Amino acid sequence: MLTGYLIAVVLAALALTRLPSAIRGRNVLIASSAGAIVLAFALITPDVYAALDRFSPIPNLVDLIAKLALFTGLLLAGTQVARAWRAPQTQRRISGLPGALVFLGVFVAEVIIFAVVHTTSSAPDLADNLSSPLVRLYSTLATAYPAYIAALLLPHVRKGLSSSQGATKATSRFLFVGFILAGVRFVLGLVTLLLPATYYVGQVVSGVAAIFVALGLATAFFARIGRQRATRRSFR
pLDDT in tens, 63-94: 999 999 989 988 988 888 888 788 899 999 99
Give residue 18's pLDDT: 46
Going by pLDDT thresholds of 50, 70 and 90, the confidence category of residue 38 is confident
Q: Model confidence over 132-165: pLDDT tens digits?
A: 999 999 999 999 999 999 999 999 889 888 877 7
Buried-state track 46-80, b at ≥16 Cβ within 10 A, e below 16: eeebeeebeeeeebbebbbbbbbbbbbbbbbbbbb
Kindly tell me if the per-residue pLDDT of 16 is higher than 80.
no
Rank 11-20, 39-48, 103-112, 206-215 by mean pLDDT and report only the highest: 103-112
Spatial contact of 161 and 174, defined as CB atoms under 8 Å apart: no
How many residues appear in the chain? 236
Rank 119-123, 175-179, 232-236 by mean pLDDT and report only the highest: 175-179
Q: Domains of the chain, with CATH numbers?
A: 2-227 (1.20.1070)
